[in-house]
Amino acid sequence: MDTTKDEFNIPNVIMDPRTRTQYSKGKFLGKGGFARCYELIDTNTGQTFAGKVVPKSMLVKPHQKEKMQQEVTIHQSLNHKHIVQFFSYFEDENNVYIILELCRRRSLMELHRRRKTVTEPETRYFVKQIVEACIYLHEKRIIHRDLKLGNLFLNDQMEIKIGDFGLATRVESESDRKRTLCGTPNYIAPEVINKKGHSYEVDVWSLGCIFYTLLLGKPPFETSSLKDTYSKIRKNDYLIPENRISREVVLLIQRCLRHEP
């Protein structure tokens, strides 16, 4: 068996010790946080997956291990057509591996960079699918907490697949309010910044930011500094240019971006 490793100490052939399935490492897909993603090909069936690889050297502290375990526990409990499918989770001496559905069309971030703006019918098509997945998550008492273009993946049929549950959390009761400051600045809700407690509404806020960004080409609260962005979010200070989008969509965005959800 070829055990040649790359500079990140990832073998060219990886084996799931529980199922004895072997995967050959394909092309590099991207990185985020501690993780790197590669195409992983099942050497028996030829099926290609996305493999999320996290070095154990990055999971030394108890809270890091706990966060990793929570991501796995939440993601493997999900089964929805608009959520990246979770297949397997295992580890070897050096790394933790998460085997996921491969989304060959990358994400809405790449689409946004290529196109700058997306038409209203296209945006409705994408947002409808994101909403369906969010309803499913919230019914299962899960908040994603990091909905953004880069975490909205696309399959060959250009269907949305929500991925990256690294910041997701489970709501234990109706009165359970989370206070962790987390998320991506341009999509983060005021409740999160103020640390006064947040719940499902933070995903709705992010959805409004996604809607706005796709249609108008940039996030509603974007500035050149984090401090100014947070200030605009706290004040709910954003503009929707006149005559650029329909009144119906303007109202939808305004309903998502409310300070009192």
Q: Which helix (H) or strand (E) holds 96?
A: strand 95-100
* 3-class SS shares of the chain: helix, strand, coil, % to 5: 35, 20, 40
Q: Which helix (H) or strand (E) holds 35?
A: strand 35-42
**42 catalytic residue (yes or no):** no
Residue 77 in tokens: 């409990």
φ, ψ dihedrals at 87, nearest 5° = -105, -45
Please say whether the beta carbons of 220 and 213 come within 8 A: yes
φ, ψ dihedrals at 235, nearest 5° = -85, -5
Establish whether 52 is an annotated binding residue.
yes
Nearest-CA neighbor of 96 among 6, 7, 13, 14? Answer: 14
Q: What does the chain come to in residues?
A: 261
Please say whether the beta carbons of 116 and 215 come within 8 A: no
Please say whether the beta carbons of 207 and 138 come within 8 A: no
Which residue out of 146, 164, 203, 237 is catalytically annotated? 146
Range 164-194 burial, b when 16+ CB lie within 10 A, else e: bbbbbbebeeeeeebeeeebbbbbbbbbbbe
Distances (CA, A) of 36 to 83, 136, 172: 20, 28, 31
The catalytic residue positions are 146
Residues within the annotated binding site for ATP?
52
